[in-house]
Amino acid sequence: MSFKGIVRELREIKDGIGSISKRVGDRKHWHSRMMSHIAPDLAPNPPSDLIQQGQWANLPPELLLDIIQRVEESETTWPARAVVVSCASVCKSWRAIVREIVKTPEQCGRLTFPISLKQPGPRQSPIQCFIRRDRETSTFYLHYGLVPSEGEKDKLLLAAKRIRRATSTEFIISLVADDFSRASSTYVGKLRSNFLGTKFTVYDSQPPCDAVPQTNSRSSRRFHSKQVSPRVPACNYSVGTVCYELNILRTRGPRRMHCAMPSIPVSSIQEGGTAPTPTLFSQAYDEHFAPSPCSTEKELVTGYSSTNLSEPHVQGAEPLVLKNKSPRWHEQLQCWCLNFRGRVTVASVKNFQLVAAVVPSHNVSAEEQERVILQFGKIGKDIFTVDYRYPLSCFQAFAICLSSFDTKPACE
């Protein structure tokens, strides 16, 4: 069989494997919401007739490895890259080989599985995305690509919905565009502001790599029981803060912001440094660390963030701090300017570039100090570009950019 024939067969398999996963009810609902999900390892075993995939499940390991390698190398962009996800959905043996072949965004510069959104971006060239804002529904959609394409067939990475409360504003972040429930399996985190809109806290739905929250045996036994409803309040772990400086004198100029990322050590940007890289969505904390249904969200946040996340996750490590790059005043244009390298075309107070805020004792090279880690700017009505790189993840970059959409009368 030719290579094109193999790819065609895999595309057909992709359309029929969606029903294997137990995370979503029926196949149509699953296929329309998230094509990039993989059936979790901890899900109940499907019937034997679904496990047996004919000749595909019984391929020799050497041949299977060669096929998946060729598929991974040929399908480098979305939506064609969905075939790689489909390969991992065939059976456990296929999934194991796909995990071995597909590299992290830091290594290959591509986004493949949902966990890629929680992993650091590439070190050299940034991953380029864009945000589409819907004013009527107060929702924000992060798509993969340089600019919006015709037909709105761009790959959706994350979606957020803004919810205004009496004392704060929250952005609920989800993997899909039509479900923002914090009890859903598609919930990945949120962003919460203070009353003035000057400080934002980024919450992740799963603990950072080095933070292991404590639990009691009672809650563990309760959540091993089959009688407990699976839709329970989600845990929230504080992984970052975004602070905007007050502009008391009302002087002209761009916003000034700082981002503290306690989940990322400053050593990650030093020579030879590494950033925490999760490999799977945490299934264990759903069973062992999830609270009882009567627990409140406030208890979830303070219970973990105050003990495990207020200090650096790696003992003795200092957290990474980002600051906005200072613009220069352009006399002819009479405005503040930054070099966005053609990725931003409309002047806006929301535009910013973030670089590492370091001191000489951190031993960070001058080149690394000038490297733009996150770039955000406007290119049209309700369209904004997002370019991020190592050590930030897609989720962290999206959450930081969302803070720019909230009203900040005290900072402008």
Summarize pLDDT for 306-364 with one digit per residue, the tens: 334 334 444 457 999 999 998 888 778 777 788 888 899 998 888 999 999 998 888 89
Distances (CA, A) of 68 to 3, 106, 115, 187: 11, 20, 19, 30
Contact 146, 128 (CB under 8 A): yes
Owner of token pair 């504003």: 169
Contact 114, 173 (CB under 8 A): no
79, pLDDT greater than 60 = yes
Within 8 A by CB and 6+ apart from 350, the residues are: 376, 377, 378, 384, 404, 405
**The pLDDT value given to residue 323:** 94
Pairing of strands 335-337, 169-174: unpaired
CA gap 225, 250 in Å, rounded: 58
Mean pLDDT of 45-73: 72
CA gap 138, 151 in Å, rounded: 22
Pick 103 or 411 by higher pLDDT: 103
Summarize pLDDT for 289-299 with one digit per residue, the tens: 333 333 334 43
For residue 90, list its beta bridge partners: none
Report the candidate in 321, 338, 320 with the shortest Cα–Cα distance to residue 329: 338
For residue 375, list its beta bridge partners: 353, 387
Summarize pLDDT for 116-130 with one digit per residue, the tens: 999 999 998 999 999
Summarize pLDDT for 119-162 with one digit per residue, the tens: 999 998 999 999 999 999 999 999 998 888 776 678 999 999 99
Residue 220 pLDDT grade (very low, low, confident, very high; cuts 50, 70, 90): very low
pTM for this one? Answer: 0.77
Please tell me the number of Cα atoms within 13 Å of 135 on its side-chain side: 3
3-class SS letters over the chain: CCHHHHHHHHHHHHHHHHHHCCCCCCHHHHHHHCCCCCCCCCCCCCCHHHHCCCCCCCCCHHHHHHHHHHHHHHCCCCCCCHHHHHHHCCCHHHHHHHHHHCCCHHHHCCCCCHHHHHCECCCCCCEEEEEEEECCCCEEEEEECCCCCCCCCCEEEEEEEEEECCCCEEEEEECCCCCCCCCCCCEEEEEEECCCCCEEEEEECCCCCCCCCCCCHHHHHHHCCCCCCCCCCCCCEEEEEEEECCCCCCCCCCCCEEEEEEEEEHHHHCCCCCCCCCCCCCCHHHHHCCCCCCCCHHHHHHHHHHHHHCCCCCCCCCEEEEEECCCEEECCCCEEECCCCCCCCECCCCCEEEEECCCHHHCCCHHHHHCCCEEEEEEECCEEEEEECCCCEHHHHHHHHHHHHCCCCCCC
- Mean pLDDT of all residues belonging to the chain: 76
Summarize pLDDT for 247-292 with one digit per residue, the tens: 665 555 567 899 999 999 999 999 889 999 998 876 433 333 333 3
